[in-house]
């Protein structure tokens, strides 16, 4: 939420040593906060057979502050940037529960829940956005916009192409669980865990 309306998403993630470090870096390079820090609580839905995940697609219901969004993302094209179809509709937060009921009636169930605190940054007259995501597995910057803008901005911020991450947060979380020898659950902050 908060980006230009488009049917294509082009993005990369970059691992950063800390949220404060990233904020200072972005400020030094002229980025301004365009969307204040907010908790995003995302639930990925799929059917019992995992049909969407098996096809590389995603159906997400996001609750974020006083807003919500329902998003479909298609399979990602292979390459140094993650590029895929993205269809999203903004909702009032009060509509999210009703949308979830509809998804369940259609046979979709929560497959994975993940949270992050997101702050969005941009520079005047530029078409890209940098999201600073503070997640339970560490902070990341997500650069979204035209490929040339992503490459130029990443280079300017000191990140070579070898540091581009195109994995989803679910994939990063599962990899972190494997590294630590932990059983994966949902990627949520401790205060949000149920049971």
CATH topology of domain 8-189: Hypothetical Protein Pfu-838710-001 (2.40.320)
The percentage of the chain sitting over the pLDDT mark of 70, rounded to a whole number, equals 95
pLDDT digits (tens, 9 = 90+) for 14-57: 999 999 999 999 999 999 999 999 999 999 999 999 999 999 99
Work out the pLDDT band at 78, boundaries 50, 70, 90. Answer: confident
Q: Using one digit for the tens of pLDDT, what is the confidence trace for 134-190?
A: 999 999 999 999 999 999 999 999 999 999 999 999 999 999 999 999 999 999 999
SS3 137: coil
Q: Is the pLDDT of residue 10 over 80?
A: yes
Q: Is the separation of the CB atoms in 93 and 87 below 8 Å?
A: no
| Beta carbons of 78 and 166 less than 8 angstroms apart | no
Name the pLDDT band for 194 (thresholds 50, 70, 90): low
Q: Across the chain, where does the E strand assignment appear?
A: 8-15, 32-46, 58-64, 67-73, 82-92, 109-122, 129-135, 138-144
Q: Which of 181, 135, 109, 174 is nearest to 13 (CA)?
A: 135
What are 81-137's pLDDT values in tens digits? 999 999 999 999 999 999 999 999 999 999 999 999 999 999 999 999 999 999 999
* Span 61-71, average pLDDT: 96
Name residues whose C-beta falls within 8 Å of residue 37's C-beta, 6 or more positions apart in sequence: 117, 118, 119, 134
pTM assigned to the model: 0.92
Confidence of residue 2 (pLDDT cuts 50, 70, 90): very low
pLDDT of the residue at 191: 81
**Hey, is 195 helix, strand or coil?**
coil
What distances in angstroms separate CA 138 from CA 7, 51, 120, 179, one per listed residue? 29, 29, 17, 14
Locus of tokens 């560490």 = 138
- Separation CA 158–CA 34 (nearest Å): 22
pLDDT at 6: 55
Work out the mean pLDDT of the chain and round it to a whole number.
94
Q: What is the mean pLDDT of residues 58-74?
A: 97
The pLDDT of residue 1: 43
Residue given tokens 């098996």 in the structure block: 54
- Domain chopping of the chain, boundaries: 8-189
């Amino acid at each position: 939420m908060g980006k230009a309306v488009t049917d294509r998403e082009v993005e990369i993630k970059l691992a950063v040593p800390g949220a404060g470090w990233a904020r200072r870096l972005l400020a030094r390079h002229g980025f301004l906060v365009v969307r204040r820090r907010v908790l995003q609580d995302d639930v990925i839905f799929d059917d019992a057979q995992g049909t969407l995940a098996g096809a590389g697609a995603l159906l997400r219901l996001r609750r974020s502050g006083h807003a919500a969004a329902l998003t479909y993302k298609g399979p990602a094209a292979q390459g140094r940037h993650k590029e895929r179809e993205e269809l999203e509709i903004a909702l009032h937060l009060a509509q999210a529960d009703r949308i979830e009921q509809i998804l369940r009636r259609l046979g979709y169930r929560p497959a994975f829940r993940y949270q992050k605190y997101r702050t969005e940054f941009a520079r005047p007259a530029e078409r890209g956005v940098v999201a600073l995501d503070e997640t339970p597995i560490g902070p990341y910057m997500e650069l979204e916009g035209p490929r040339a803008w992503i490459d130029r901005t990443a280079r300017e911020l000191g990140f070579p192409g070898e540091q581009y991450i195109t994995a989803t947060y679910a994939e990063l979380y599962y990899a972190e669980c494997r590294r630590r020898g932990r059983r994966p659950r949902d990627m949520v902050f401790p205060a949000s865990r149920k049971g």
